[in-house]
């Protein structure tokens, strides 16, 4: 009887120690990949909102210099690889290449690990984008409000860029 109890105890302990799945924290996928801009929404704080969704439509940001100054819907591409942000895609008879590359810094949620902020660090001052949505095939970035000078005065503007993943 005592041997049967010991055998049962060994079997139960082996199930407890070896039969359970090991729990691992979920990891969040990287943002690495090539993206094409599919839409831009620009909002004047306290004013009107403009949606740019038509293919070939041009969006120009007066106060932004570099590759994010001008975006053409369904044509402008960006690429993220590790801690580098590539822009200014060009293709010619000799192949394709990126004209600009910038170091980027990521921030993620402490609890879930979800990406919540991307900062391009190689500008005169860093450009920070909030990650509003991060799907498997798209990313929606929001640029917090900034001041834009126009012929009609200075406006506070924020914009949201939706980009769909095209490839690795």
For the record, the structure tokens of 133 come out as 């949505």
Say if residues 61 and 69 touch (Cβ distance below 8 Å).
Answer: yes
3-state secondary structure 37-83: EEEEEEEECCCCEEEECCCCCEEECCCCCHHHCEEECCCCEEEEECC
Q: Which of 127, 119, 154 is nearest to 65 (CA)?
A: 127
pLDDT reported for residue 18: 62
- Tell me the domains of the chain and their CATH numbers: 32-167 (2.40.128)
pLDDT tens, position by position, for the chain (168 residues)?
677 777 877 777 676 666 556 655 556 677 888 999 998 888 888 778 888 888 888 887 655 556 667 788 888 888 989 889 888 887 776 766 888 888 988 888 888 778 888 888 876 777 888 988 888 788 898 887 777 777 777 778 888 889 999 877
93: tokens are: 């008879």
pLDDT value at residue 95:
65
Q: What is the dihedral of CA 103, 104, 105, 108, to 10 degrees?
A: -160
């Amino acid at each position: 009887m005592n041997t049967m109890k010991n055998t049962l105890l060994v079997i139960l302990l082996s199930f407890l120690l070896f039969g359970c799945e090991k729990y691992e924290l979920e990891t969040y996928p990287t943002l690495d990949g090539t993206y094409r801009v599919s839409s831009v929404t620009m909002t004047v704080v306290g004013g009107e909102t403009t949606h740019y969704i038509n293919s070939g439509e041009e969006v120009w940001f007066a106060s932004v210099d570099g590759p994010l100054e001008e975006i053409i819907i369904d044509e402008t591409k960006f690429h993220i690889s590790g801690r580098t942000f590539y822009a200014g895609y060009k293709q010619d008879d000799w192949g394709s290449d990126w004209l600009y590359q910038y170091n980027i810094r990521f921030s993620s949620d402490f609890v879930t690990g979800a990406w919540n902020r991307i900062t391009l660090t190689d500008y005169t001052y860093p450009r920070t984008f909030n990650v509003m949505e991060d799907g498997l095939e798209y990313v929606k970035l929001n640029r917090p409000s900034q001041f834009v000078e126009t012929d009609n005065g200075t406006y506070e503007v924020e914009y949201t860029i939706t980009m769909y993943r095209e490839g690795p």
